[in-house]
Structure 1
């Protein structure tokens, strides 16, 4: 359990107090967004064009439109999560309380709730909110954070289930509505004045959807500015919004009061039928007839592409467009007080010591969170790994069972040594491929990293180190079980040397397997960093590992490798693992039966005869892989899971 367990007792305070501040007004002018595709023959896809937007405190604004109309793209731009990068070009200006702001400013003053937010499944609701508070509010004491979480649990109606795990699509626990409230709570912990929400009612039944809307209405009444995307809301949901923005193919069709939309569409010749959900009618209207001819007769009202193109022009000449322009002009000319920041940013220290403390604090939270998730999933994360590795050890150990040591015949001794080297090689391979189990877990949680990084909570190094330390016991124990069983079944180290006892050989064998696993996990982190899908990671990881194995010296003599590929042997951790185990079994400058161990090592292409050197390089490679993983996460994961 989390050490800061919250007791059930009367709650003082609320996340819904009347807001005496002016709140935050958001305005946007001439927002455009286009993507350029192709290398030799480039083509430009226009996603948004000429968007003017205005939202004010104590209101809820819904962004509506058919699939592909640009709803989520607009929400991402308004919240600062999407800006010009590479082939993506974003234009226009965004203002908060009359001040032009950058993407960084928006992130520091607004919160964003995604449609498919990823949660850590085996944390309880209480722990999820507490860890969120620890990450976002490090300047508060533990007691103050617990009090904020207690208030949140009460106001979100989650007290009755606060000790239930959150779950995910594979681990079932709380209801969809409760999970939505948990995710909303992780953002409300930093007291945002502007809240962006992507599809807040998606996947919920009518009752749950209405509950979420009631919660958002209460939040808006406290002075917050709430902006949502919605896909085909029910009538009750539609009526909950003060303003709606209708998009069609990236252009504005309407922005104004939701109640006035019916009058507007009647005015331009498209009256909403009596007793019909207005949004169903609008979205039906905005899908042109030619794209679904065979269904046209079943639709209440269908229009052609030519008629659809006229709708943005009709809006631009309407009083509702004039109203938006007038509001924006008034907004830009009005004097406002300072824009409130999220609590996370408002008390952030900018000194070197403050920066270090923030990094160390975030590292400790990521570590504790990861450890707790694994500890709760003991059956999946530890017991299963131990059983699988024990089974593999017994199977492979049976094949290499009680390998005989040297004989009085030199040729026979060489053959027996080759068998021992084969057993050592399989030890390396098992430790290497054992890290593959981290692919799914690490690939899944990197989306959490990407989203929390976008909120400024921590960076790649903090995440990778924290995740590794939190997972360390659950990664290492299974492979140590394998190496222990296999070591004694195969009997690879049965000869004692004057300066290298059997106990020393056992400890060095375990150290080598441990460092092999360390390096292997580092490589897996790097592979996760350069691939954006789990399927691609599963495809690339075995290829890279096998390539490293080929140049390790077991299959091909390292000095016989072609010059164009021989450099890879220096970054192949299996080469150093294999060499370390070989040197541990046949220490240099000794005699194994009638054969000099130096001759054996030379026969098996072991050119690095220092055990210490090999394990040191193993450790360094593990660090290097993680450093490259940090760079990969920095370069390739700016927008993963954000769009």
Structure 2
């Protein structure tokens, strides 16, 4: 044995010893020094419904549209690109599979396919769970931790896990039992010290650390005591010590009868030897599938051995990138040759044995016949989902809706408006209707742009939670609508209270309440339009542009700026929120028989004033009905648009 090979053997022995010691010396994640009570261990006990995952000859293709032709003559050319090329493997309960490979090798695509979440493209092959295809009932026993930790930034660690427990645990559990489960997960994952800290997010909102954030994501999936756990790069962006603690905990979970599958980019050597099985991918092809402890022996047997002692994961990634052991392997042609050689070696040496292992596993399915039975598709009732989502939504969004800058913005504009229209005299009719139109303009734009960002910001959260089967879309949508009501109505109410009396409008309770009601009514309609635009476009910049164009068009056709609108474009006013709001606001202040001083000591009818006559004081009921249709219609459009997300996730 050469000196270099002896160094490799010594390094592997040291890393295996370090990995074994890590399981016993990890006080932060329930290792050997952590005492686990009987009540706490119930969430992490041996898996009651073990799942054997089998995938055979999995192929996934997508269509790519490429531009073709010259500068003046362009066309699109559609090509088929193979992302996964005939992948096969099996993972049993108690095993942890790590999928390695460079960026673009197909790791996340395969993980998503195995987790039943792959949308679009053409997926072929067989993926079974105890011999059965993926189903909604199986989803209840499956955890999926995405690479991006999607959580609400203003909720604490405890609130995040408690709300998840209330939504995901079966309705047979009481609320107290669900809260207890959340507390158990906090203890087991070593999150006790930060349990009352907020999650935090981008910008200046500081929260828990990256490792704690990742453990909270894992904890959300562990709440349901999953039989099958998928993780997409759980150590991404973490230091080696934190990454080791997380993988050590996942290894412990696997030992208790769970099936754990993860993607990982470049693990350290001590992490590598924790994996029971390793799948090495390169451009969608399998280069190795088998025990992690035998991977170096396998590649040495086919003529690929490192020239110096190195991390096995680094060596495997070099091979997956087409980099061999000699300096001349660096050119593009050699890289392609090495990849082809390794893929062919896998077919010749490993594929047949792997398929035999799958056949043996098939007999196990028939013999044991594990079933996952859930009587209902949803873990909780519609009303439970609605109330929990409502409470969670109010807790999260109150920080945004009542932020200091928003309150200051409304108050500053209110006082400036009150001073500009200070105690306007009855003869200044143009000023009074100008204030009413300003009401409709300002409170058309303000709620519109608040609502436009609602669904684009929550798209990732909605996709994550809906794909886990946490709640119905209808319960989520209604909780959003109801939860936003008090937050959307308080600020315009304050605005009216300030400006109405400062501007010297009619000082009667009836006129004041009528003005307030009309304004709040229009705010809800404008909010509905914003929700519809946001749900349809799902892009903040594009939605903002579309909302601006629509609302400016509605304002121009509202009846204040242009009173003699050409007939060929006059139809816009019938779609204009501003037009109907302006009309109702004038009706709240003026009646057809009212008069105003018009000079020379005489009085004139308010209805004959040019600025009012063109809009008219009649048709108040029609305007209210028109806004009511918009109130319902815009929200229906938003709901139907959100349904596309769920359908896109299910479409294969």
- TM-score norm. by structure 2 comes to 0.84
Conserved 8 A contact 2:451-2:528: no
What is the aligned partner in structure 1 of residue 177 from structure 2? 144
The answer to whether 1:402 aligns with 2:415 is: no
**More deviation, 68-77/541-550:** 541-550
Cα displacement (A) at 1:218: 1.0
What is the aligned partner in structure 2 of residue 208 from structure 1? 242
Other structure's SS at 1:46 match = strand
C-alpha separation in 1, matches of 2:279 and 2:567: 64
Conserved 8 A contact 2:137-2:374: no
Cα displacement (A) at 1:181: 1.2
C-alpha separation in 1, matches of 2:62 and 2:550: 33
**More deviation, 231-240/32-41:** 32-41
**1:291-306 matched pairs, under 5 angstroms:** 303-306=334-337
**More deviation, 528-537/603-612:** 603-612
Other structure's SS at 1:196 match = strand
Conserved 8 A contact 2:558-2:582: yes
**1:418-567 matched pairs, under 5 angstroms:** 418-435=430-447, 436-440=449-453, 442-491=455-504, 493-494=505-506, 502-557=508-563, 560-562=566-568, 566-567=570-571
**More deviation, 529-538/518-527:** 529-538
What is the aligned partner in structure 1 of residue 635 from structure 2? 626
Conserved 8 A contact 1:553-1:606: yes
The answer to whether 1:346 aligns with 2:346 is: no
- TM-score norm. by structure 1 comes to 0.85
Conserved 8 A contact 2:285-2:343: yes
C-alpha separation in 1, matches of 2:185 and 2:323: 47
Cα displacement (A) at 1:23: 1.2
What is the aligned partner in structure 1 of residue 345 from structure 2? 314
C-alpha separation in 1, matches of 2:42 and 2:303: 44
Conserved 8 A contact 1:31-1:50: yes
Q: Compared with structure 1, are the counterparts of its residues 602 and 391 closer, same or farther at alpha carbon in structure 2 (3 Å cutoff)?
A: closer
Cα displacement (A) at 1:240: 1.4
1:30-54 Cα deviation digits (max 9, x unpaired)? 2111222349532222211211121
Conserved 8 A contact 1:400-1:490: yes
Q: Compared with structure 1, are the counterparts of its residues 251 and 532 closer, same or farther at alpha carbon in structure 2 (3 Å cutoff)?
A: farther
What RMSD over aligned residues (CA atoms) do the two structures have, in Å?
A: 3.1
Cα displacement (A) at 1:96: 0.8
C-alpha separation in 2, matches of 1:459 and 1:546: 36
C-alpha separation in 1, matches of 2:420 and 2:323: 69
Equivalent position to 2:356, from 315, 320, 326: 326
Equivalent position to 1:570, from 570, 574, 595: 574
Cα displacement (A) at 1:18: 5.0
Q: Compared with structure 1, are the counterparts of its residues 383 and 311 closer, same or farther at alpha carbon in structure 2 (3 Å cutoff)?
A: same
Cα displacement (A) at 1:369: 0.2
**More deviation, 501-510/364-373:** 501-510
Other structure's SS at 1:245 match = strand
C-alpha separation in 2, matches of 1:249 and 1:349: 37
What is the aligned partner in structure 2 of residue 110 from structure 1? 142
**1:203-242 matched pairs, under 5 angstroms:** 203-242=237-276
C-alpha separation in 2, matches of 1:429 and 1:640: 39
Other structure's SS at 1:157 match = coil
What is the aligned partner in structure 2 of residue 371 from structure 1? 394
Q: Compared with structure 1, are the counterparts of its residues 517 and 459 closer, same or farther at alpha carbon in structure 2 (3 Å cutoff)?
A: same
**More deviation, 633-642/72-81:** 633-642
C-alpha separation in 2, matches of 1:561 and 1:401: 38
C-alpha separation in 2, matches of 1:114 and 1:277: 26
Q: Compared with structure 1, are the counterparts of its residues 338 and 508 closer, same or farther at alpha carbon in structure 2 (3 Å cutoff)?
A: farther
Cα displacement (A) at 1:619: 3.6
1:160-191 Cα deviation digits (max 9, x unpaired)? 22222222233212111111111111111111
Q: Compared with structure 1, are the counterparts of its residues 477 and 16 closer, same or farther at alpha carbon in structure 2 (3 Å cutoff)?
A: closer
C-alpha separation in 2, matches of 1:257 and 1:168: 38
Q: Compared with structure 1, are the counterparts of its residues 600 and 569 closer, same or farther at alpha carbon in structure 2 (3 Å cutoff)?
A: same
C-alpha separation in 2, matches of 1:340 and 1:568: 59
C-alpha separation in 1, matches of 2:408 and 2:287: 61
Conserved 8 A contact 1:62-1:227: yes
Other structure's SS at 1:197 match = strand
Conserved 8 A contact 1:550-1:556: yes
**More deviation, 430-439/119-128:** 430-439
Q: Compared with structure 1, are the counterparts of its residues 306 and 600 closer, same or farther at alpha carbon in structure 2 (3 Å cutoff)?
A: farther
C-alpha separation in 2, matches of 1:513 and 1:115: 44
Other structure's SS at 1:626 match = helix
Other structure's SS at 1:226 match = strand
Q: Compared with structure 1, are the counterparts of its residues 224 and 561 closer, same or farther at alpha carbon in structure 2 (3 Å cutoff)?
A: farther
Other structure's SS at 1:68 match = coil
The answer to whether 1:166 aligns with 2:166 is: no
Conserved 8 A contact 2:533-2:638: yes
Equivalent position to 1:609, from 593, 607, 618: 618
**1:176-187 matched pairs, under 5 angstroms:** 176-187=210-221
Count of aligned positions: 597
Q: Compared with structure 1, are the counterparts of its residues 487 and 580 closer, same or farther at alpha carbon in structure 2 (3 Å cutoff)?
A: same
Conserved 8 A contact 1:583-1:610: no
**Long gaps (5+) in structure 2:** 1-35, 66-74, 598-602
Equivalent position to 1:278, from 312, 337, 349: 312
